[in-house]
Chain A
Amino acid sequence: MSSSALALSSDRFAGRSEEVVEPASPRAPVWRGGIVAALAWAAAAGVTWTWPDITPWSRSGLLGAVECTLGAALFLLAFAGNRGRLAALRPWDRWLGAGAVLLTLWQILTAKTAILPLPFFPPPQSILEVYTDDSARLLESAARSLLLLLPGYAIGGAVGFANGVAIGWWKQASYWGHPILRFVGPLPATAWLPLAFFVFPGSQSASTFLIALATAFPVAVLTSSGVKGVNAAYYDIARTLGASERFLILKVAIPAALPDVFVGLFMGLGASFAVLIVAEMMGVKAGLGWYLQWAQGWAAYANLYGALIVMALLFSSLIALLFTVRDRVLAWQKAIVRW
């Protein structure tokens, strides 16, 4: 079945193809925004290289090289034609250019003029130094954070989902479970931290429990309300067609509630990040939370910023991954929340 046949014989089909695709022109157009961004990065490299630092930074040369490379890459891309995956960068040309400007401003205010003083405002070259000199520890911290987060999140997601389905489906489960969710749910999982570190044999298991708890509540609440909100006509249809209760739960209630389940998983992921970092600062002697604590203890502010950037990259990638999974699973639905 061709999609044009669909479009012809279905009057509502048009509603689906709303995204406007720019017409492919025969000759690859030059990416003007890309050229502007490339020039901005070249200028940034010029500033880095030619304007002397107040106190010389060992990574100034490297920073300039990175800026220069970026500029060259953008320049090549601007003439490479509108093909391939990198073409997806095109709408971001203003951000790419602004990145060079902001970085240069930051550098001027710190390394070049010291208007913003050390140690609270490290220049970009010192953060680059963190990545060249302390990458092993940073990477290990990121890995440890991920290894602590994922099991807790998986357990919490599964437990929350199962409880949410039960509370949404069975009156008895709702009678007993719903008040508990209402009463205990608003407690931030971090409030349980002193108790958990005391009750559990180790800080790892205590943290896993807390991360699971932080994830499970929003997932359970959203799943149960999703199941309760399923259009009653869906059940009528399935029941007349001979569906068992099992079928109604697995093939009607759960698929219909999945959009809500994903909202719960998204909220749970955010909550689990907060618990993870606090648990690492308070008890687990590893991970990005611990790295922040450690950097603060040594007044190593560049390391602190460097770790924050790694954390932002890690967490936003995890959320992007969740949204990718959601868009796959809910391909039938138009995306509601964009990431």
Chain B
Amino acid sequence: MVTLVHSPATTGLSVQVRGVHHAFDTPGGPLPVLDDVTLDIEPGEFVALLGPSGCGKSTLLRLLAGLEAPSEGKLGADKVRIVGPDPSRLLVFQDPTLYPWRSVRGNVALGLEAQGVDPQQAAARTDRTLRLVGLGGFEQALPSELSGGMAQRAALARVLVNDPRLLLLDEPFGKLDSLTRMTLQTEILRLWRDAGFTVLLVTHDVEEALLLAQRIVVFSPRPARIVREVAVEEPYPRRRDNPALQSLRRDILASLGHAHEL
């Protein structure tokens, strides 16, 4: 596989989350989702956010992407307050949500087009990125012609082509079959190590967090509070049967309240 050719020197963003509370207005009154979340992430770090489903992990990513403003508290990237979306901080969702009317190439070129990048340059960057994620030859295909794994690769390419400095991954492998998931996990790791961006991966899969992240932040059920932070110092590539990871896994499951499943 090729390495990230267009920008070998991407530097990751640092992330600051300070005393963030968030609540949604619902017909039944405000629904608190984030409860005093404070978190610091180093440039280039790979952090996993782990917590029960519905606790507020996606909400935190949306705040970091600038799609919503917190009810209370501050969020920053490189110590600059986040006030809106920016192509340096990009989200990959659980569903690839490609635009069905655009070809794979058109989907990946979306950001460059929106930012007014010269079309010829954009086309070259797009095709390079497609090759990078293993979709070379599928430039003209329509999203409806792709398998789930390929669509998720295209969604990843749509983000990577913009040289993001903070990659926000919201359970991006959640709906894939286990073999495809393993392949994509390995590739994310490779991309991260080659490109140097910061990664914030939301997952509810402890094993996935242990395989990929340097640090795991564990949330409580809604409203999400940070209950633990675990550093994972094993070198990459990691093996699932690594005993150190096994014991960390038991440890984390216990703090998620699943001690009986050990």
Contacts and interface: CB of A to CB of B under 8 A. Distances in A.
A252 interface: yes
A234 B148 CA distance: 18
B67 interface: yes
Contacts of A234: 97, 99
Q: Chain B CB within 10 Å — which of A12, A256, A330, A333 has the most? A: A12
B113 interface: yes
A12 B150 CA distance: 10
Given A234-B97, A239-B85, A332-B101, A10 B145 contact: yes
A271 B128 CA distance: 50
A15 to B, nearest CB: 8
B111 interface: yes
A241 interface: yes
Contact of A241 (B114, B140, B144): B114
A12 B87 CA distance: 31
A244 interface: yes
A255 B66 contact: no
B69 interface: no
Interface string A1-44: 10001100111110110000000000000000000000000000
Interface stretch (B43-51, B88-96, B189-197, B233-241): B88-96
Contact of A242 (B93, B102, B115, B142): B115
A200 interface: no
A199 to B, nearest CB: 42
A313 interface: no
Contact of A240 (B66, B139, B145, B150): B66
A332 B110 contact: no
Contact of B91 (A1, A240, A252): A240
A40 to B, nearest CB: 44
B67 A236 contact: yes
A333 B100 CA distance: 8
A255 B107 CA distance: 13
A236 B91 contact: yes
A322 interface: no
Given A240-B85, A241-B90, A251 B144 contact: no
A239 B84 CA distance: 9
Contacts of A238: 110, 114
A88 interface: no
B146 A242 contact: no
A244 B139 CA distance: 25
Contacts of A10: 141, 145-147, 150
Nearest to A237: B97
A238 B162 CA distance: 12
B28 interface: no
For the residues of A in contact with B, the DSSP-based class is: helix
B77 interface: no
Contact of B87 (A9, A240, A258): A240
B114 A11 contact: no
B86 A233 contact: no
B144 A332 contact: yes
A242 to B, nearest CB: 4
A111 B221 CA distance: 86
B137 interface: yes
A243 interface: yes
Given A237-B97, A240-B85, A13 B111 contact: no
B158 to A, nearest CB: 8
A255 B111 CA distance: 17
Contacts of B115: 241-242
Contacts of B91: 236-237, 240
A231 interface: yes
B65 interface: yes
Given A234-B97, A234-B99, A332-B100, A5 B137 contact: yes
Nearest to B140: A1
B67 A247 contact: no
A91 to B, nearest CB: 27
A6 B162 CA distance: 27
A332 B86 CA distance: 30
B60 to A, nearest CB: 15
A9 B145 CA distance: 10
Interface in B231-258: none
B113 A251 contact: yes
Contact of A16 (B66, B87, B113, B145): B145
Interface in B112-146: 113-115, 137-142, 144-146
A166 B62 CA distance: 27
A251 B65 CA distance: 21
Given A233-B97, A332-B101, A242 B144 contact: no
A15 B97 CA distance: 19
B144 to A, nearest CB: 7
A229 to B, nearest CB: 14
Interface in B50-99: 62, 65-67, 85-87, 89-91, 93, 95, 97, 99
A12 B146 contact: yes
17 contacts: A1-B137, A10-B145, A10-B150, A12-B147, A13-B145, A234-B97, A236-B91, A239-B67, A239-B85, A240-B87, A241-B111, A241-B158, A242-B85, A242-B86, A251-B110, A251-B113, A332-B100
